[in-house]
Amino acid sequence: MRSVGVEEEFLLVDPETGAPVAMSGAVLAEAERAGEVEDEQGAGLTKELQREQLETGTRPCTELDQLAHELRAVRSEAIAAAADAGAGLVPLATSPLPVEPTLTPSRRYYEMARRFGLTVSEQLTCGCHVHVAIDSPEQGVAVLDRIRPWLAPLIAVSANSPFWQGEQSGYASFRSQVWTRWPSSGVYEAFGSVQGYQEFVDTALATDTLLDEGMLYLDARLSRTHPTVEIRVADVCRDPDDAVLVAGLVRALVETAIDEWEAGTPPRAVRTEVLRLATWRAGRDGVDGVLLDPRDWRPAPAAVVLGALVEHVTPALERTGDLVTVRELLQAVLDRGPGATRQRAVFARTDSLAKVALDALPGVAGT
Q: What is the DSSP letter of 322?
A: -
Identify whether 86 is part of a domain: no
289 assigned to some structural domain? yes
Q: Is 266 part of a structural domain of the chain?
A: yes
CA-wise closest residue to 1 among 358, 313, 221, 320: 320
Identify the CATH number of the domain in which residue 303 sits: 3.30.590.20
Is 42 a member of any domain? Answer: no
Confirm whether 75 is domain-assigned.
no
Task: Give dist(CA 173, CA 122) in Å, integer.
Answer: 16
- How much is the pLDDT for 182? 97
User: Is 247 a domain residue?
Assistant: yes
Longest dimension (CA), the chain: 57
Assigned domain for 127 exists: yes
Q: Is 215 helix (H, G, I), strand (E, B) or coil?
A: helix
- How far is it, in rounded angstroms, from Cα 118 to Cα 10? 21
Alpha-helical regions (H) of the chain: 24-33, 64-85, 107-116, 118-121, 137-147, 152-158, 175-178, 194-206, 240-262, 272-285, 302-320, 323-336, 339-350, 353-358
Give me the helix-helix angle, 137-147 and 194-206, nearest 10°.
80
One-character DSSP codes across 223-268: -SSSSEEEEEEEEPPSSHHHHHHHHHHHHHHHHHHHHHHHTTPPPP
Q: How far apart are CA 179 and CA 43, in angstroms?
A: 24
162 within domain boundaries: yes
Within 10 angstroms of residue 4's Cβ, the number of other Cβ atoms is 26
Domain that holds residue 211: 107-358
- 301-321 core/surface letters (b: 16 or more CB in 10 A; e: else): ebeebbebbbebbeebbeebe
Domain count across the chain: 1
What gap in Å lies between CA 92 and CA 298, rounded to an integer?
Answer: 30
Cα–Cα distance between 59 and 4 in angstroms, integer?
8
pLDDT given for residue 43 in this prediction: 74
CA 191 to CA 207: how far, in whole Å?
Answer: 19
Q: What are phi and psi of 292, to 5 degrees?
A: -85, 125
Its pTM stands at 0.96
- List per-residue pLDDT tens for the chain, 367 residues long: 899 999 999 999 999 999 999 999 999 999 998 777 766 666 789 999 999 999 999 999 999 999 999 999 999 999 999 999 999 999 999 999 999 999 999 999 999 999 999 999 999 999 999 999 999 999 999 999 999 999 999 999 999 999 999 999 999 999 999 999 999 999 999 999 999 999 999 999 999 999 999 999 999 999 998 999 999 999 999 999 999 999 999 999 999 999 999 999 999 999 999 999 999 999 999 999 999 999 999 999 999 999 999 999 999 999 999 999 999 999 999 999 999 999 999 999 999 999 999 999 986 544 4
Instruction: Please report how the helices 240-262 and 64-85 are oriented relative to each other, as an axis angle in degrees rounded to 10.
Output: 140
Phi (first) and psi of residue 56, to 5 degrees: -120, 160
